[in-house]
Amino acid sequence: MKTDDEIWLSYDNGDYESLSNKELERLQKLIMLRDLKLKRPEQNIKTPEIAREDHKPNGSVYFGMPPEWKEKLYHEVSIEGDEIKFSEFGEYFDFTSTDSGCDESVQLGNNWYHSGKFASDIIHAAECSGQLSRMCRKGAYNLDAGNGDKVIIRQISARADPTAVSACTCLSCASNTFDKYEITLSQLGDYAVLCSWDEFKAGKPYRSAVIESMVRHWQVYFDAQIYAALAASSPGTTETLNNTLDCNGTLTGSCCTHGADLYQRILDADAALRQNGYSPDVVIMSPSVANYLKYPQNAQSELALPSIQMEGGVITKIGHLKVIEYCGAQACSTATATTFAWVLDSSRSIAQAFGKQPSLEMERDAECNSWKLVMWCYWGTSVLDVNAIAKIVSPNS
């Protein structure tokens, strides 16, 4: 067995063939010791995040991650004498990209510093979410892997009336027809990068706020796409207001108000759907349009008020119809030929489907001293039976 100096000499001369297997193993250790620049072989080296206990927000997560992820993302190194030992490394990562230009950096002048230190409270952006997704048929369909990217929903027709026949007369066959509705899934993703140096400066709220913001916005996106699908549809029923809205709640005329006009059209839409065999159960409109049902009415319109239920300042029901005051719906305006409210049979009007629920993955990007936060989801939505939808529009002029 050659000495360390002799092994180094062979290394410097590129004479690897003269080294035995044990000497090659020794050379690998010597190179690693040199690269680690260890002055005292007995000292323990750990990655900064492992050494810092203050990066553990609570007992259930490790630096924002479940504890079982720790070994997959960190590599502990310890030196005992001249032996190098590594903790189990569950998975190796190939880091190829940097984080330049991705997330807002926590720097002086970027609204982070307050009296020389970071604020511990972060307020999230104002968004409305979760209102329409829960309304969809069955909440959501789930498509298993290996079954393509479409969910097929079929609707069977009603049977024809029974036929009266005379003695010894055969019946004629009557068949059903099927309508087909498709929901096509899309692969959707969201990606953020957190710099570890920024996290060190900003503290614990920084990462949790970014993750919460990512999670929140999925529901915002789903609702927006559901409403867009409704808006792009051609409903089987249309009810038209007597007048365009004025958006100030002023009593007009001696017989009625804008609130009474809107209320009556909602009742008409509900009746039209039920007349066709549907079971309408939801009204969707913006808070600024719903306000018309909250303003003081004239004497005739007051009779309708008991059927309007409210929680605080929010309408929750009109008779048997659940009301969703959705902030993404068409706001009040004086525009003509504009849809301001929707009445739906939610069991057959629109649906959504998932192939993969939104899921968060985190990866340590060592050479960039940052974390990659990625969320993926397979999701789609589609209008089903347009005859289960009624819209309330302003007049053409």
pLDDT in tens, the chain (397 residues): 888 888 888 877 777 677 777 787 788 777 766 655 544 444 443 333 333 333 333 333 333 334 444 343 333 444 454 454 444 433 333 333 444 555 555 444 444 444 334 445 666 677 776 788 888 876 567 777 777 788 888 888 888 899 999 999 999 999 998 888 899 999 999 999 999 888 887 777 888 888 888 888 888 999 999 999 999 999 999 999 998 888 876 555 544 567 888 889 999 999 999 999 999 999 999 999 998 888 766 555 555 556 889 898 899 999 999 999 999 999 999 899 999 999 999 999 999 988 888 888 889 999 999 999 999 999 999 999 999 999 999 998 6
- Residue 14 makes CB contacts below 8 A (sequence gap 6+) with none
Q: Is 284 helix (H, G, I), strand (E, B) or coil?
A: strand
Helical segments of the chain, H only? 4-12, 21-36, 48-51, 70-73, 196-202, 204-231, 258-275, 287-290, 299-302
Give yes or no for a contact between 360 and 215, defined as CB atoms under 8 angstroms apart. yes
Q: Which two tokens stand for residue 49?
A: 């995040």
d(CA 144, CA 146): 6
Residue 236 identity: G
Cβ–Cβ < 8 Å for 236, 390: yes
Provide CATH code, domain 123-157+177-397: 3.90.1690
Instruction: Tell me how crowded residue 84 is: count the other CB atoms within 10 A of its CB.
Output: 17
- Angle in degrees, CA 207, 208, 210, rounded to 5: 65
Nearest to 371 by CA among 197, 243, 182, 224: 197
Beta bridge partners of 321: 318
Tokens of 320: 């048997």
